[in-house]
Amino acid sequence: MNRPGARSPSICQCNPLPELIHGQGVCLLRHFDDVRAQMTVRQRAQGWLHQVLASYLAIPVEHVRIARTATGKPWLPEHAWLRFNLTHSGHSAAIALCRDHEVGVDLEMVSGKVTVKKAIARRFFHPDEQCWLALDEANYLTRFTQLWSMKEAWLKARGTGLTQSLGSFCVIPQAGASGWAPVMVEPLVSAGQIQYCQVQGDAHFCLAFTAIPAARQPSVQWHLGCH
């Protein structure tokens, strides 16, 4: 399944929310500068998600009802056409939305020890990904975090979570490809693509988001914005 590479989106202010058009996806990024002591970032992110969903559905926030599949993927039983996914890290969060196509998003703070990340990569990553990481030792931590966010976003879009092996597919940014990477499965054939970028909030983050269109459909075009 060969699809043309989607143009990498630029980050812009999103207020009001952009329209959700079929064949296009929206990824919203938010930094919570006013985190209240009595609320966790997870609670703030969940509240923001409900507000965004209510806006797109044109219903009161209290009428938004989110259910979960057997593997934990959230969905809207009464509005199944609106697909969404939420992630948060540090004091920041991101939401991916799309009409009719499954989506996944992951935000990861760049942190930790390189020795620990190398051990994780050796154990869980595809051999080609391990080789790609080794090409730039000086930026290993950032490259590892970017790979991890892309792999998480893909698994969240598929709805499998970590029940699927991280090494069962390969995601490597391609030279000359701005902001997107192909997803390859064994045997190495194309399964889709993932958008990615790095953002700055209260810390340095890696963001990845993806949609899974039906066979022979073009790749989803993305709008990325700060809300």
At residue 164 the predicted structure's pLDDT band, cuts being 50, 70 and 90, is confident
| Per-residue pLDDT tens digits for 16-39 | 899 999 999 999 999 987 666 678
d(CA 53, CA 145): 28
80 domain residue, yes or no: yes
Neighbours of 142 (CB within 10 A): 14
48 domain residue, yes or no: yes
**Is residue 29 a contact partner of residue 226, using CB atoms and an 8 Å limit?**
yes
Over residues 54-66, mean pLDDT: 96
Instruction: Return the pLDDT at 11.
Output: 55
User: Residue holding tokens 């990481």?
Assistant: 133
Q: What is the pTM of this model?
A: 0.90
d(CA 9, CA 64): 29
173 domain residue, yes or no: yes
**Is residue 106 a contact partner of residue 92, using CB atoms and an 8 Å limit?**
no
2 domain residue, yes or no: no
Percent of the chain with pLDDT over 70: 90
4 domain residue, yes or no: no
The CATH number given to whatever domain includes residue 36 is 3.90.470.20
197 domain residue, yes or no: yes
1 domain residue, yes or no: no
**ω into 60 cis (within 30 of 0):** no
Structural domain count of the chain? 1
Instruction: Return the pLDDT at 92.
Output: 94
User: Residue holding tokens 């939401």?
Assistant: 95
At residue 14 the predicted structure's pLDDT band, cuts being 50, 70 and 90, is low
Domain boundaries, position 20: 11-226
